[in-house]
Structure 1
Amino acid sequence: MASDQLFPIQLPAPRAQREKPLVAVLADNAGTETTDFMVPYGVLRASNVVDAVTVSTGPGTVQLHPALKVRADQTIEQFDRAHAAGADIVIVPAMHHPDNPEVLAWVRQQYDAGATIVGICDGVWILAKAGLLEQKVATGHWYSLDRLARQYPDTTWIRDHRYVADGQVVTTTGVSASVPVSLALVEAIADSAEAVALAERLGVTDFGTAHETAAFQLSTADKARAAANWLSFWRREHIDLPVADDVNEITLALAADAWSRTFRSTARATHADATTIRSRHGLVIETDNSRATRSHTPAPTAHSPEQTLNQTLTAIAERYDVRTAELVAVQLEYPWDISQQE
């Protein structure tokens, strides 16, 4: 199904005489959300309708949150030297430090040069702090919307839409919106047929905007389960996700993200020999082969994003409990019901 955008994404033609739009997927080395970063990169690179590069604030390891470590293609400084005209699209994930002056200045610089800025999940805070949302329509993760509305009252905050576009800015709801908005970008760059074909290759059945914000909230039971899991430190474990060259970065990110939100476990990419591998679309992922006192290796993830999330949440329910799986789903802003799983 093609998107059904009420706030449609409209992109200008690529600048600087480019054949394809140049997309920069931004990361702060000190902490960047796993799925927000890896999924748009994987989807856009798979589309073959853009040139996508990863860009970090500094050289070396990028610590993703809540799991995995990667290395970007270029630093901000290197990107600026190589692409004086700037990017056509900048993907801004949620970051540990949304007030990082370097990040804010660079995002604003790219916007002023004409780039479309896409804030994924709590990446919206960076757009807001950079002054890009004044008098704009925007959305965000359900947990942040009330606080965003208080701090930025001159922005019209929209609920019940997985992604919203207003001129040069695009914002999304939670982590699970990263796949739909990436496909919507492909649709805006190419056409609906191209986006639908890519969705079919990825196993995505719907990338429309339909969403029910009110369905997501932390109940008293959710908070109690999170506290109980966190306090049971002696039961915490590593979730080992074996990887090799050509690993699907989209499904890896979703599985690692979900397992690492249980307050019982942290996922890590493992390899017996290599310290780094390259994902299906070229992302350098650092690996871990150290022994852990408590570790678990789940069954391999499925091929599609939805299957991966459903499979992982079901595995979490079986290993820990249903309440923990529901706690993970609400953090990811993903509608999940164990009774509907096969």
Structure 2
Amino acid sequence: MTWRLLAWSGIAVAALVPIIGGIWLFTLPATSAFRLPPPIAKAEQDATLAALTPPKRSRPLIAMLGINDMTETTDYLMPYGILKRADVADVVTLATGPGPVALFPVLKVEPDATIAAFDTAHPDGADYVIVPAMSRDDDPAVMQWIRQQAEKGAVIVAVCAGAKVLASTGLLDGRHATTHWFYLKNWRNKHPEIRYVADRRIVADRGVATTTGISASMPMSLTLIEAIAGRTRAEAVAREIGLPGWDARHDSNAFKFTRPFALTAIRNTLAFWNREQLGLALAPGVDEVSLALVADSWSRTYRSHAVTFAATGDVVTTRNGLRVYPQVVAPDWSADRLLPAVGTAPPAQALDRALAGIETRYGRDTADFVAMQLEYPRADAVQ
């Protein structure tokens, strides 16, 4: 992983800067306990679904927005894979300019169209625009396009730190919202008019929705399916992907900068001589959700970086039609650095399996470190 990527993620930098005054480490919490909050009242659930009702078409048009220079992998691919699988809307992947979208921390994809081409084909705009985390929070083309889509009546859905991008447009001012725990303090300081809501993975308010960390894009996608096509269809998709249940409840207090988190970031970052490049076979028909979760999690250990490989450099088409470029052309990969094949388990289980593999290879601290970055409560850590 390059220092540029580390700097963008912010975690390693935040952990390393204060090391000079090591007392800082002892001010951090020693542990973080996960507790399942009480169920959300039906009235609140109904209000969220009502806020996400398709604003224009009976079969909605959903635009996945990306910036060519680094868009977060799982934020971009997970909603796409789940919503395409559901087949309750037309889903298109977009980029601000021509050419592929480089995803962070891994993968490169060919979008369906540029935002300019989308505007020509759909002058009345999308029903929903999904905004992932991006390398810039204030890209001029992104800012202008999101505002235009909102003016045309689209529901804007920011995933994870995509809320920073959305906040830069001014559309969150005066609205209830949430975002990834790591960026929360600066986000609130920079945009004091946002009305932050804790303990919710999904918050919807007057045509705008936001989520907590990266892993929240799965329940967000299912909630959107429910708003579009009803509970029965959402439950069917949830069964297909292996998720027994979903809702917006969340223990925000469980996700924070702890001492083990900081120490793991420091230790794994400084051990740069021991970093591994792990191969992930890229096969036609691969599920986008599983691919994103596996590649993303193994590339956040600061001990390893996943790379996709295939026998040729040709674009590989995924289960739902996304075109992915292999990062390395190779017929095979060294067995000791080969990640398990994607697609052997339901997509919702891919992250748990990846975290289990990370724990086996690098230890529990690193697996917990990755889960904290993804804002994902590991099942065995919930109290």
Q: TM-score, with normalisation over the residues of structure 1?
A: 0.93
**Residue in structure 2 matching 1:8, options 48, 68, 73:** 48
**Residue in structure 1 matching 2:361, options 315, 319, 335:** 319
Cross-structure match for 2:181 = 142
Question: 1:143 Cα shift?
Answer: 1.3
Q: 1:290, 1:80 → 2: CA distance?
A: 36
User: Taking structure 1 as reference, are residues 196 and 337 closer, same or farther at Cα in structure 2, changes over 3 Å only?
Assistant: closer
Question: 1:338 Cα shift?
Answer: 5.6
Q: Would the aligned equivalents of 2:107 and 2:327 in 1 still touch at CA under 8 Å?
A: no
Q: 1:36, 1:104 → 2: CA distance?
A: 18
Cross-structure match for 2:372 = 330
Tell me the number of residue pairs that the alignment of Structure 1 and Structure 2 aligns: 338
Equivalent position amino acid for 2:234 in 1: A
Question: 1:245 Cα shift?
Answer: 1.2
**Residue in structure 2 matching 1:23, options 62, 74, 81:** 62
Question: 1:289 Cα shift?
Answer: 2.9
Of stretches 111-120 and 216-225 in structure 1, the one that deviates more from structure 2 is 216-225
**Residue in structure 2 matching 1:297, options 316, 319, 338:** 338
Of stretches 4-13 and 189-198 in structure 1, the one that deviates more from structure 2 is 4-13
Of stretches 147-156 and 1-10 in structure 1, the one that deviates more from structure 2 is 1-10
Equivalent position amino acid for 2:128 in 1: I
Q: 1:175, 1:32 → 2: CA distance?
A: 12
**Residue in structure 2 matching 1:158, options 171, 190, 197:** 197
Q: Does 1:73 align with 2:118?
A: no
User: Taking structure 1 as reference, are residues 157 and 294 closer, same or farther at Cα in structure 2, changes over 3 Å only?
Assistant: farther
Q: Would the aligned equivalents of 2:311 and 2:329 in 1 still touch at CA under 8 Å?
A: no
Question: 1:297 Cα shift?
Answer: 1.0
* 1:252-303 superposed Cα distances (whole Å, 9 cap, x missing partner): 0000110000011111221112431011001110003346999711222443
Q: 2:367, 2:80 → 1: CA distance?
A: 26
Over 4 Å off, 4+ runs: 1-7, 290-295, 337-340
Superposition pairs for residues 221-260 of structure 1, below 5 Å?
221-260=260-299
Q: Would the aligned equivalents of 2:75 and 2:160 in 1 still touch at CA under 8 Å?
A: yes
Cross-structure match for 1:130 = 169
Of stretches 229-238 and 89-98 in structure 1, the one that deviates more from structure 2 is 229-238
Unmatched tracts of structure 2, length 5 or more = 1-38
Cross-structure match for 1:51 = 90
Q: 2:52, 2:107 → 1: CA distance?
A: 32
Q: Does 1:64 align with 2:103?
A: yes
Superposition pairs for residues 47-126 of structure 1, below 5 Å?
47-126=86-165
Cross-structure match for 1:212 = 251
Specify the SS of the correspondent of 2:308: strand
Equivalent position amino acid for 1:208 in 2: D
RMSD (Å), alpha carbons = 2.1
Q: 1:107, 1:286 → 2: CA distance?
A: 27
Q: 1:270, 1:220 → 2: CA distance?
A: 36
Equivalent position amino acid for 1:118 in 2: V
Q: 1:262, 1:255 → 2: CA distance?
A: 12
* 1:210-265 superposed Cα distances (whole Å, 9 cap, x missing partner): 11011112212221211221121111111211021110000100001100000111
Equivalent position amino acid for 1:197 in 2: A
Cross-structure match for 2:237 = 198
Q: 1:228, 1:40 → 2: CA distance?
A: 33
Amino-acid identity (%): 42
* 1:9-61 superposed Cα distances (whole Å, 9 cap, x missing partner): 3245453xx45100000000001000000000011111111000000011112
Specify the SS of the correspondent of 2:328: coil
Equivalent position amino acid for 1:36 in 2: D
Equivalent position amino acid for 1:171 in 2: T
Q: 1:150, 1:27 → 2: CA distance?
A: 26
Question: 1:317 Cα shift?
Answer: 0.9
Specify the SS of the correspondent of 2:92: strand
Question: 1:305 Cα shift?
Answer: 3.5
Equivalent position amino acid for 1:309 in 2: L
Q: TM-score, with normalisation over the residues of structure 2?
A: 0.84
Equivalent position amino acid for 1:282 in 2: G
Q: 1:308, 1:321 → 2: CA distance?
A: 18
Superposition pairs for residues 180-195 of structure 1, below 5 Å?
180-195=219-234
Specify the SS of the correspondent of 1:144: helix
Q: 2:334, 2:360 → 1: CA distance?
A: 21
User: Taking structure 1 as reference, are residues 295 and 34 closer, same or farther at Cα in structure 2, changes over 3 Å only?
Assistant: farther
Question: 1:337 Cα shift?
Answer: 5.4
